[in-house]
Structure 1
Amino acid sequence: MKAFFKAFAILIVLSVVATCAFLMESPERKSADEQSINDWQVVWTDEFNPEININQLEAMQSWENVKANDPAPKRPEGAEGQWVKIDIPTIPSGSPALLFEKIYGLHVVIKSQNGMIYESDRMYNYGINTILLPMDHSSEGESIYIGIKSGTRIGLQSNVLAGDFKELQNTFIKNNMTDFIIGSALIFIAVVMLICSLFLKNENMSSWFSLCMVILSSGTIVITYSSFLYSLFGKYGNVYVLLFDLSLFVLLPSFTSFFESIFGRGYKSIITKFRKFQVGYSLFCILLMAINLLSNNQFYEYYRLASGTLIGLFMIIQFILLVSIATIYTIRGNQEAIIFTIGFAVFAVLGLGELLWFYLKSEYYDLFLWKWGVVCFLIALIIILGKRFARNHEQVVEYSKQLELFNNELQRSEKMEIISELAASVAHEVRNPLQVTRGFLQLLVAKQNSTDKVYLSMALEELDRASAIITDFLTFAKPEVGKVTTLNVLNEFIHIEGILIPMANLQGGKISVHIPQDLHIKGNSSKFKQAFINIIKNSIESLHGEGEIHVWAYEENGEVCIHIKDTGEGMDEEVLARLGEPYFSNKTKGTGLGLMVTFRIIEVMNGKIHFKSEKGVGTEVVVRFPAVKNA
């Protein structure tokens, strides 16, 4: 999963870099023959007649001069159309052409002295026109007339470029490719995500699919909002408008669904309820769209109210709701909420700033920065989903580690249980004949000469050793603590230190004990001493000469922590992993039972033991017991 997410992140980065590289590429130098037409004349008409001839237009008396950077001419009350008169300059070489970068109107005609040279009559509600108009040299020095009809924004609102057709064609494509590139990149990412969803588990599918729909619908909205498709393939304009509306109907509930999958259902399931409402309302709008299409736009006003005014209101409510919840989580320190809030803030600043400028310009301005805000916001959403996937991966790894530890502990418990049963069943039966044999050997020792006594004494020692092993087996098989009292850890270690210091001195080692007076635990004194004598004896034997053993203790989080650290030979990881196993020992004649018994004693006293060791450096043993406040 981690490799998959890395590959997906690389794909997104490459897509964004490629898009930015294309869009930020320096435009080609302006051709020497390319000219900018910055002024023209405008006249308003009460009725728009595309068949009006040039002489009738020339005869009109109310022409007014307009410059490209001036505010849009105020539309007279009752005016239905507008005519624009432009003088064509001389174009020295090449195939002459005119590039109208922005004309607002649903019905646009262009006339010259030779008659009609262009007409576009749109039956759908999209009024931005970008026109690349081929000309011939015979039209140079003459005037052309542009007739425009529109119910809202109307007129020529940007510079007109005159020059060679090929050069203007490159300019036309570059100026209009931005939206197409951004939208296509988003759609490409969404398609890749859909393919990748085949490899996801069910618990990740909801957030992944929701984000996929958000990116796909956003990309479609960006493309279908652009004038590029309408300029090149205007006959499919109705399809583009329908795709824009459908994408909006998909975007809003998908966005809420993604938010819900990341941040939860919200207070009293408010996010879930709003998401269900949005799904229902989107289905209602789609149904109303179908009815309007089948009735040949007879219900257009109702559809426009539902898909325009009302859905805009619901968008405002949605953003306020989601941002409020994200802000609450941000205040609480939720990292995903912080990323969401930052991404949405970028989108909101760009969108609201452009919207204010749009109204200041009396709506004669095309919004475009919002698309970059959408891209930034989507990147924030992708980061949130990526963090969620990474966290899920870490949880899976952690669960795997815990499962491995659990399995190891289970195997150890099963092994210990088998040994316990075996020890309990055999130990008593073996000890009785050993005691009898030892008694007869003692009688023989008293009657034999000195030479035989040596061998008989050796036999007795081995019998005692066998008896000690059986005692360890019994202790392991039945690890009852016995009489439980409150133990003062310092007092217990004073006795342990007195027993083991002579042994340490013989080895050339030293033992230092630093334990406070006020540490108390529950347990059996003799078992406690047996366990720690076994541990410290192992430390002494690991010194192999001079060395030090430090013992210290303290209370932490309701536990008494006892540390025993030596400067002995240490152990590698393989040996550490096998400590406590029966019959495993680093000693030549060791059975491993001593440390095994120690583990069981500590376990019965509700303690925990942990070893840290490094070969050639030493070993540290940490034992933790529940602390007791001495009354």
Structure 2
Amino acid sequence: MTNLVEIYMDLLITVNLPGKVFFLKMKYRLLFVAVLAFLIGCGFIAPRIDAVSQDESKTIPEWSIMWGDGPGTVEELIKGSSSLNWLNVSDRKFFPEKPKNISTAWAKAQLPTILPDHYGVFINEIFAKHLWVYLEDQLIQEVNYNYAYDVHRILIPLSSEDAGKNIYLKMETSKDRLGVHSDIKMDQYTKLMQIFVVSDLANIILGCAFLFIAGIMLICSIFLKKIQLASWISLSIMILTIGIIIATFSPFMFTNFERYGVIFIALFDISLAIFLPALSFFFEKVFENDKLTLMRRFRKFQMIYSVFSILCMIINLASDYRFAKVYFLISVTVLGYIILIQLVLLIGYSAIFAKRGNKDAIIFSSGFALMALMGIIDLVWYYSSSQTYQVFLWKWGIVGFIISLIVILGRRFAAYQDLMLNYSKELEFYNQQLQLSEKMEMISSLAASVAHEVRNPLQVTRGFLQLVAKSATDKNKEYMGIAIEELDRASNIITDFLTFAKPQLDEITELNIYKELKQIEGIILPLATLHGGGVSLNIPQELYIQGNSSKLKQAFINIIKNSIEAFRDEGQIHIWAYEESDQVFIHIKDNGEGIEPSKIAKLGEPYFSTKTKGTGLGLMVTFRIIEVMKGSIVFKSQKNIGTEVIIRFPTLNTHASK
């Protein structure tokens, strides 16, 4: 962090700091708005695509299914169709469940007796490993998945000559689900082709969007510090695996790229095995807390189980799916329960952190709760429907969750820029203090070494001038008086130098602020009256500090004199004090000319003064006295309104304890 701040400060030296910071903050905010708009745009596009796929088309109101092998060929099936045990399906909401120990089924649907040209039949969801599609006795399509996938989608072109014919589907599987689980739609072939193509396009768009974002984040990780890499990389891996899961989950990939199905399934399983522990790890990094012990142990178990699951997948692939049922139990059934446990843990922990009022935790919890809720609904629905339900709600839950993470990341970038701005201001302040300290040290050394040597010749010269003035003419006496005044002025400057170099606080006593300021009021009031103004005090009588009375008076007189010299018409100085948090605060406020903000930071520097003939040594000595007495001084001023000086000292008890 220190190195980053140094680099950032080096950059800001050559540019306008406020403008640069504003530009950087706007750049990051625009970046996150663009990414957010991109994902939200995907969310708006997807319903439109789904609306196309759900468009009302004509359906075959009744079709039939027969469980078992039936006749050996489709010709025999057609000849003996009337004597076979066909089950009629007329309810579009309820499809017949597969009986146990059945691996083959036939489905039959009769086309209308009047059929326009350029028509087609579309079936969105057929569960089978091996599928044959016949139009009467003519085989028009055959698909055989030699891997662990069993969802088919078919589109059959028709002509007017096909009116009244039967469509036969032969389905075989080695899995638990089998049959037709969607309406048999009929419409213009071009319209059905559009539905066929875009029905899963939402998955592809979302998947590619996540892959793109993950790629950009991984590239950006090159420029991050080591301490930031863990959470950043885990989030990148989460988004990357989510993109792969969404894209490879879509039947579109298997329907159009059948030969790469093994790769798609392997990528899906590996991504899911990596995503789950990455999610737990990211959660730990976002909310680092000692109470996450259970979460950490569960995440370690997840990592071990993920490695075990990937090894089982490799063994299943190498053995040509000989252990498909065992692998299904490991990668689907058992993993589903593990996901449920993980969701319960994350929801519980996120609710606890959100209850504490952390805004990032509330945003994270809201997004994650949406994802978890969608996931739980999908899993419950999946297992309650004998594993025939096609989960889809989880995709939109993930979109909501990723958007919440982007919002958190945007907030952190904005907060980080504010932090950098504060660091830059602090560094600028400390740099000014360092320069001032170096100047003061130089002046202190110079004053200590030279002041005594200069004062002695001045005093001797002053004495001889007084002697000579006694016997001089009137005109020469006038010149001698001017010379003596200038020598006295030089002596006062040297006295200020000595005071700055080593304030004489040898006599430290208990000081009553009320009494000290009352005495100062008596000293300074005639000067204020001479300048047409006044001084008012509002000081409690029981405020005590430790210090040197004469030096305290010197410091306050210097400040009040500056206020008097800044008087305009009806000038007024208000002085009040109070105790707060073991500190005594003294305010001196005038309604004079005021000081420009750019000059306030230079007050107390040697040879800097807002007065025409000022040397700046008075305030320099004042700052030094207050510093030696463990106090601090702050100036607040507005041009043509006035100046307020706030001086703070430790109370007597606090100071004594130190």
Same fold (TM over 0.5): yes
1:174 to 198, 205, 210: 198
Please state how far the C-alpha of 1:313 moved relative to its aligned partner: 3.5
Structure 2 residue corresponding to 1:404, chosen from 416, 428, 437: 428
Measure the CA separation in 1 of the matches of 2:304 and 2:70: 43
In the TM superposition, residue 51 of structure 1 has moved relative to its aligned partner by 5.9
- What is the CA–CA distance in structure 1 between the aligned matches of 2:244 and 2:459, rounded to whole Å? 92
Task: Say what the alpha-carbon RMSD is for the aligned residues.
Answer: 2.5
**Which shows bigger deviation, 231-240 or 300-309?**
300-309
AA aligned opposite 1:65? N
Match of 2:306 among 253, 260, 282: 282
- Aligned counterparts of 1:365 and 1:353: Cα–Cα separation in 2: 11
Question: How far has the Cα of 1:48 moved from its partner?
Answer: 8.8
The match for 1:539 is: 563
Q: What displacement does 1:162 show?
A: 1.4
Equivalences for residues 300-339 of structure 1 within 5 A: 300-339=324-363
Corresponding residue for residue 388 of structure 1: 412
How far did 1:247 drift? Answer: 0.8
Report % sequence identity.
Answer: 45
Q: Does 1:101 align with 2:124?
A: yes
Aligned partner of 2:208 in structure 1 is 184
Report what 2:13 is aligned to.
none
Cα distance 1:318–1:79, how it changes in 2: closer, same or farther (>3 A)? closer
Report whether the alignment pairs 1:567 with 2:581: no
Residues 96-122 of structure 1: CA deviation (Å, up to 9, x unaligned)? 211001112222212232322222221
Q: State how far apart, in whole Å, the 1-side matches of 2:71 and 2:441 are.
A: 99
**Which residue of the partner structure matches residue 4 of structure 2?**
none
Tell whether the 8 Å contact from 2:117 to 2:158 is kept in structure 1 after alignment: no
Q: Is the 8 A contact 2:284 2:292 kept in 1?
A: no
CA distance in 1, matches of 2:53, 2:298: 52
Shift of 1:270: 5.1
Question: Which residue in 2 is equivalent to 1:587?
Answer: 611
Could you say which residue in structure 2 is the equivalent of 1:115?
138
- Of 495-504 and 315-324, deviating more is 315-324
1:161 aligns with one of 172, 181, 185: 185
**Mapped partners of 1:341, 1:489: distance in 2:** 55
Deviation of 1:465 after TM superposition, in Å, equals 1.0
Confirm or deny: 8 A CA contact 1:585 1:592 kept in the other structure: yes
2:98 alignment counterpart: 75
Work out the CA distance in 1 between the residues paired with 2:79 and 2:630: 106
| TM superposition shift of 1:282 | 2.4
8 Å contact kept, 1:47–1:79: no
Whichever residue aligns with residue 119 of structure 2, its letter is: P
Q: Deviations over 1:547-590 (max 9, x none)?
A: 11111111122211111111111111232121111111122321
Matched residue pairs, number?
Answer: 630
- Which residue in the other structure is 2:7 paired with? none
Q: Secondary structure at the match of 2:601?
A: helix
How far is the alpha carbon of 1:63 from its aligned partner? 1.4
Structure 1 residue 18: deviation in Å? 2.7
Structure-2 residue corresponding to 1:87: 110
Contact 1:46 1:78 in 2 (8 A): no
Per the normalisation by structure 1, the TM-score is 0.94
Offset, 1:411: 1.1
Q: C-alpha separation between the residues in 2 aligned to 1:110 and 1:395?
A: 66
Q: Which moved more, 1:418-427 or 1:368-377?
A: 368-377
Q: Once the 2 structures are TM-superposed, how far is the Cα of residue 126 of structure 1 from its aligned partner?
A: 2.1
Q: Alignment partner of 1:436: what SS?
A: helix
In terms of mean alpha carbon deviation, does 422-431 or 573-582 score higher? 573-582
Matched with 1:614 is: 638
Structure 1 counterpart of 2:12? none
Distance in structure 1 (CA, Å) of the matches to 2:622 and 2:185 = 93
Q: Cα distance, 1:12 vs. partner?
A: 1.4
Q: Does the residue aligned with 1:153 lie in a helix, a strand or coil?
A: coil
Secondary structure in 2 aligned to 1:543? coil
Question: Greater shift after overlay, 306-315 or 573-582?
Answer: 306-315
Counterpart selection for 1:126 from 142, 149, 159: 149
> Residue 58 and residue 510 in structure 1: after superposition, are their counterparts in 2 closer, same or farther (change >3 A)?
same
* 2:590–2:643 contact (8 Å) kept in structure 1: yes
- Taking a change above 3 Å as real, the CA distance of residues 149 and 57 of structure 1, as seen in their structure-2 partners, is farther
The one-letter code sitting in structure 2 at the alignment partner of 1:345 is: A
Query: Which residue, out of 7, 12, 34, partners 1:11?
Result: 34
Higher deviation after alignment, 617-626 or 255-264: 255-264
- Is the contact between residue 36 and residue 162 of structure 1 (CA under 8 Å) also seen in structure 2? yes
- Aligned equivalent of 2:457: 433
CA distance in 2, matches of 1:73, 1:304: 23
- Residue 155 of structure 2 aligns to a residue in which SS? strand
CA apart distance, 1:70: 4.1
Deviation digits for residues 351-378 of structure 1 (CA, Å, limit 9, x no counterpart):
2234444455444432211110111111
Instruction: Indicate the SS of the match to 2:623.
Output: helix
User: Which SS does the other structure have where 2:644 is aligned?
Assistant: strand
Q: Secondary structure at the match of 1:53?
A: helix
**What is the letter of the counterpart of residue 5 of structure 1?**
Y
Deviation at 1:498, TM superposition (A): 0.5
Return closer, same or farther for 1:322/1:105 CA change in 2, 3 Å cut-off: same
The residue aligned with 1:140 is: 163
Tell me the distance in 2 between the aligned counterparts of 1:290 and 1:466.
94
Whether contact under 8 Å (1:265, 1:272) holds in the other structure is no
Q: How far does the alpha carbon of each residue in 1:441-469 deviate from its partner, in whole angstroms, 9 at most, with x for none?
A: 22223333433322222222111111111
Deviation per residue, 1:298-356 (Å, 9 max, x gap): 34344334333443343333333333332332222222221121112112222223444
User: Take 2:617 and 2:595, find their aligned partners in 1: how far apart are those partners?
Assistant: 18
- Distance in 1 of aligned mates of 2:618 and 2:348: 63
Question: Deviation at 1:28?
Answer: 6.0
Instruction: Please state whether the residue corresponding to 1:25 is helix, strand or coil.
Output: helix
In structure 2, the CA distance between the partners of 1:20 and 1:121, relative to structure 1 (3 Å rule), is same
2:53/2:195 contact within 8 Å kept: no
State the match for 2:6 in structure 1. none
Query: For 2:159 and 2:292, how far apart are their aligned partners in 1?
Result: 70
Matched, 1:65 2:99: no
Contact 1:427 1:473 in 2 (8 A): yes
C-alpha change, 1:46 and 1:77, in structure 2 (3 Å) is: farther
Between 364-373 and 202-211, report the one with greater CA deviation: 202-211
- Higher deviation after alignment, 361-370 or 165-174: 361-370
Unaligned runs of 5+ residues in structure 2 are 1-23
Contact 1:570 1:616 in 2 (8 A): yes
Give the match for residue 350 of structure 1.
374
Distance 1:8 1:203, change over 3 A: farther
Alignment of 1:445-460 (within 5 A): 445-460=469-484
2:403 to 374, 379, 404: 379
* Pairing 1:483–2:507 present: yes
Q: State the 1:402 CA deviation.
A: 1.5
1:601 maps to 625
For the 8 Å contact 1:563–1:623, the answer to whether it is kept is: yes
- Partner-residue secondary structure (3-state), 1:85: strand
CA contact (8 A) 1:54 1:113 kept: no
